[in-house]
Structure 1
Amino acid sequence: MNVRNLCLAFLALTLSACGGGSRAPAEGDMAMGAAEGAKVTVVEYASPTCPHCALWQQNTWPAFKAAYVDTNKVRYVFRELPTPPTDIAAAGFLLARCAGPDKYFDVIHAIMESQSEWRTGTNPRDSLIRIAGGVGIDQAAFTACVTDPKAIAALETRVKAATDAGVINTPTFLVNGTRVASPGGEGTVMADLAPAIDAELAK
């Protein structure tokens, strides 16, 4: 995937299903919860433009975070894999990186929440600029952020690592390196993810 071309396309436009992986730390991992080397590591490959990711974020993330992340029972690792519309996803990932580690997840989650805006007619660029402003990034800084060659190259590297690991769909979850086929779907109960985590914690 040529992220550089995606970002250039994003700026040029008026901007009028998301299905291997590794437990080992990867370049550019964003994480919450327990420290590196924790007994259980949960890796999520996701995209801010994936509707299934947004539903999981809305319906399941609060319970997952409260049960496992806030309690430091697991190390939660987020890995980036842009899905259609990939130009928006790529710009979103770059914006989240520019916001900094403390605000990275706030930006990703805000973009997921904004899907209802731009899927019903709002210009996606306007949504991203609004989100950028919420974390102290003005429009000029936003443009510089999503066109930064080094940041784009780093994102391309992360995307290649995901695809090289055989990850093609989002969200994809791994518990200690083992893929969980259906992490509770899009409902409120972590039907598959919680048992997989609890089994690892019990070892």
Structure 2
Amino acid sequence: MTTPRRSLLLAAPAAALMPAALRAQGTDPRLGERSAGRPDAPVTVIEYFSLTCSHCAAFHNGTWPEVKSKLVETGKVRMVWRDFPLDQVALAAAVVARALPAERYEGFISALFTSQDRWAFSRGADHVAEIAKVAALAGMSRAQVDAALADQTLQRGILEIRMKGQQEHNVASTPTFVFNGRPQAGAVSYERFAELAGVSGG
């Protein structure tokens, strides 16, 4: 099944119409926080990202490994990922990522960013089939992928995360990083990331 790449720019506000019970992310562990780093790290950085965003892929493939090794694993920064899908293909990928156990989340989105050209942009590609191939490496069967994609509650929850990003941090593009409450749009270098986080680059 080829997932349409229709823009979601008008879809997120509609999430405000959903019942409060569906908007309560705390009731569904799949919609819980996805993060890396110590909970008591002195600095928390939030990244709003879309899995079909080439700038997000550039950050994750080029900058994130250094951020992770020098800032996150040393206890200086905690990284929090929040979904901001830009189209239906990104939403499908985010749904599958959220359906995985939390401990497999980072590895899966990293694999998607590494292979983004193959599954997100190939003309005539079966986007779901390509996403499912990556999910299989994370231990997810095609039946589980299809079940996740059919879960409207999970889709609505992801769109709710996106809407909150727009409301709370004025997110309008990806990636957008929030450094201690201060939004910064666009991919950044490791040096700029450390500077904005206010920590020693190591």
TM-score tier after normalising by the smaller chain length: 0.7 to 0.9
- RMSD of aligned residue pairs (Cα, Å): 2.2
Q: Look up the equivalent residue of 1:33 and give its one-letter code.
A: G
Query: What displacement does 1:38 show?
Result: 3.2
Partner Cα separation in structure 1 for residue 68 and residue 60 of structure 2: 10
Query: What displacement does 1:49 show?
Result: 0.6
Q: Look up the equivalent residue of 2:197 and give its one-letter code.
A: I
Q: Which has the larger helix fraction?
A: 2
Match of 2:191 in 1: 191
Can you list the C-alpha shifts for 1:21-77, whole angstroms capped at 9, x where unaligned? xxxxx9632111021x53211111111110000011111111111111111111111
Residues matched between the structures, number: 173
Can you list the C-alpha shifts for 1:80-125, whole angstroms capped at 9, x where unaligned? 1001xx1111111111111110111112112212221142334322
Residues 52 and 58 (structure 1 numbering): CA distance in 2 closer, same or farther, change over 3 Å? same
Residues 32 and 14 (structure 1 numbering): CA distance in 2 closer, same or farther, change over 3 Å? closer
Query: What displacement does 1:126 show?
Result: 2.0
Residues 182 and 144 (structure 1 numbering): CA distance in 2 closer, same or farther, change over 3 Å? closer
* 1:20-39 mapped onto 2 (5 Å cutoff): 28-35=32-39, 37-39=40-42
Partner Cα separation in structure 1 for residue 116 and residue 179 of structure 2: 28
* 1:142-153 mapped onto 2 (5 Å cutoff): 142-153=145-156
Q: Look up the equivalent residue of 2:160 and give its one-letter code.
A: T
**Matched residue of 1:78: which SS?**
strand
Aligned partners of 1:180 and 1:193 also within 8 Å = no
Aligned partners of 1:94 and 1:145 also within 8 Å = yes
Match of 2:114 in 1: 113
Aligned partners of 1:183 and 1:192 also within 8 Å = no
**Matched residue of 2:190: which SS?**
coil
Any gaps of 5 or more consecutive residues in structure 1?
1-10, 17-25
**Superposition TM-score, scaled by structure 2 size:** 0.77
Query: What displacement does 1:15 show?
Result: 6.2
Equivalent in 148, 157, 163 of residue 154 of structure 1 = 157
Aligned partners of 2:174 and 2:185 also within 8 Å = no
The answer to whether 1:43 aligns with 2:34 is: no
Residues 60 and 130 (structure 1 numbering): CA distance in 2 closer, same or farther, change over 3 Å? same
Partner Cα separation in structure 2 for residue 198 and residue 164 of structure 1: 25
The answer to whether 1:61 aligns with 2:64 is: yes
Match of 1:167 in 2: 171
Partner Cα separation in structure 2 for residue 156 and residue 182 of structure 1: 21
Query: What displacement does 1:149 show?
Result: 2.5
